[in-house]
Amino acid sequence: MLIPFLRHLITVFFVLGLAGSAGSAGAVAVDRPMDDPALEARARAIHKQLRCLVCQNQSIEDSNASLARDLRILVRDRIAMGDSDDATIRYIVERYGDWVLLRPPVKAGTILLWLGPVLFLALAVMLIIVWYRRQKAPIAAINTPLDEVEQARLKAIMGNEDRV
């Protein structure tokens, strides 16, 4: 009874705290869609490709962080100034690095990341083939009759058993 209440209370304080910090952050620019729907669509597409630096696994489109909001506005400003999509993304990458790209670029440092899945798949296929061939071998062995040495050995084992 008490614990859910306390949890509620903490949530309320937390939300109030966030609202407080957002309010004091000097809201100068406003995060609202651009007038031209075509430009806004381009801005939104870029927002979805950029990673929020605060929440780390959200795009700036999805994040409520204040920096994500600032970056959304910045992207719209760059587009309104006539920047291409690539130039806008480059502008942000120049400041925050490749890290902000949700889709990492193919480079020497990331090649293993991109090829990794293919390499693992190839390895798995190879292991399956090897395993499959091994499985077949004993079946072949069962169908061939015992050779002399094997028969002798079998006899020896069976002979031992007879004595018991």
Among 8, 14, 21, 129, binds other proteins (CB under 8 A): 21
Among 50, 71, 75, 89, binds other proteins (CB under 8 A): 71
Does 56 contact other proteins by CB under 8 A? yes
- DSSP conformation letters of 112-125: HHHHHHHHHHHHHH
Virtual torsion, Cα 108, 113, 119, 123, nearest 10 deg? 130
- Alpha-carbon Rg of the chain, whole angstroms? 33
Among 13, 99, 114, 120, binds other proteins (CB under 8 A): 99
Does 160 contact other proteins by CB under 8 A? yes
User: Reduced to 3 states, what is the DSSP secondary structure of residue 101?
Assistant: strand
Of residues 143 and 160, the one with the C-beta less far from other proteins: 160
Does 74 contact other proteins by CB under 8 A? yes
Residue 101 φ/ψ, nearest 5 degrees? -85, 125
Does 156 contact other proteins by CB under 8 A? yes
Does 66 contact other proteins by CB under 8 A? yes
